Structure 1
């Protein structure tokens, strides 16, 4: 079911599965690196997909244990490297890091993967993106989990 490469974690020194990443251009100039494991589909009980959004300074790799755990239970999982991380586009201009634009990028990625609704899970800085995703697209959200950060209401200047 999973396309994996085996590696060693530095903290436990035990083998773990490291999922292979893919890339998708959400616009002509902007690509996102991500991991995607499809939900198992036995037609009578299709399971949901979790969208994992990492914090600062982290990467999609921080979700490897959750992806492995939930995918073994049949849930779908997607974890993108957010802008500035991994092989995802890294703009030099801070104005390109607008939360609304990044939400639009995530929507484009979900559309590419034919995912209508997801459970959104954000950690640290990824929680800001997660709560904006939910505010801007409640119709695409099954639920929201915010880890290690408080809620900030959108402001006029929303970087």
Structure 2
């Protein structure tokens, strides 16, 4: 799509696909579930035209990014580790972070690294306490706190 560049970056033991465009201050876009970098294509094009470097990775196990070798590595903190590794690899010190859908849980954890990762924090949706019915479904499916963040 219109000058969006695609590359594979080795980070945190996985190969991560990223889509990027532009120069200037960096905006890192985190997609929702089940989505890809492509969800942000319009924002990448629009904001890069305003002087921003826009980067949107396929997160862990999505699109052209590797899945981890073990299901126990599907955690928000692992994804944050991937993102920190990505920024280190690209030589980026600070980013504006935009997250959508399930990604705000990772974006919140990215604030554990304020000096290196987050300059500004924007969520695509509000985090909320889920209804009891959702919590019962989580328990029935055997999903762990590592996976759900709950």
TM interval, shorter chain, is 0.7 to 0.9
Counterpart of 2:115 in structure 1 is: 139
Counterpart of 2:11 in structure 1 is: 26
Name the TM-score, length of structure 2 as normaliser.
0.79
1:92 and 1:101 mapped to 2: Cα distance?
A: 12
Residue 148 of structure 1 deviates from its aligned partner by 2.1
2:115 and 2:93 mapped to 1: Cα distance?
A: 9
1:112 and 1:77 mapped to 2: Cα distance?
A: 16
Counterpart of 1:158 in structure 2 is: 146
Structure 1's 63 and 18: CA in aligned 2 closer, same or farther, altered over 3 A?
Answer: farther
Deviations 1:41-60 (A, max 9, x none): xxxxxxx2111000001110
Which structure 2 residues correspond to residues 82-121 of structure 1 after superposition, within 5 A? 82-91=59-68, 93-121=70-98
The answer to whether the aligner puts 1:124 opposite 2:109 as a matched pair is no
Query: Which structure would you say has the larger RCO, counting Cα contacts within 8 Å and 6 or more residues apart?
Result: 2
Answer with 99-108 or 61-70: which moved more: 99-108
Counterpart of 2:32 in structure 1 is: 55
Structure 2 unpaired stretches of 5+: 130-143
Residue 105 of structure 1 deviates from its aligned partner by 1.0
Structure 1's 18 and 65: CA in aligned 2 closer, same or farther, altered over 3 A?
Answer: farther
Name the TM-score, length of structure 1 as normaliser.
0.75
CA contact (8 A) 1:123 1:149 kept: no
Stretches of 4+ aligned residues off by more than 6 angstroms: none
Residue 84 of structure 1 deviates from its aligned partner by 1.4
Q: CA RMSD in A?
A: 2.0
CA contact (8 A) 1:70 1:77 kept: yes
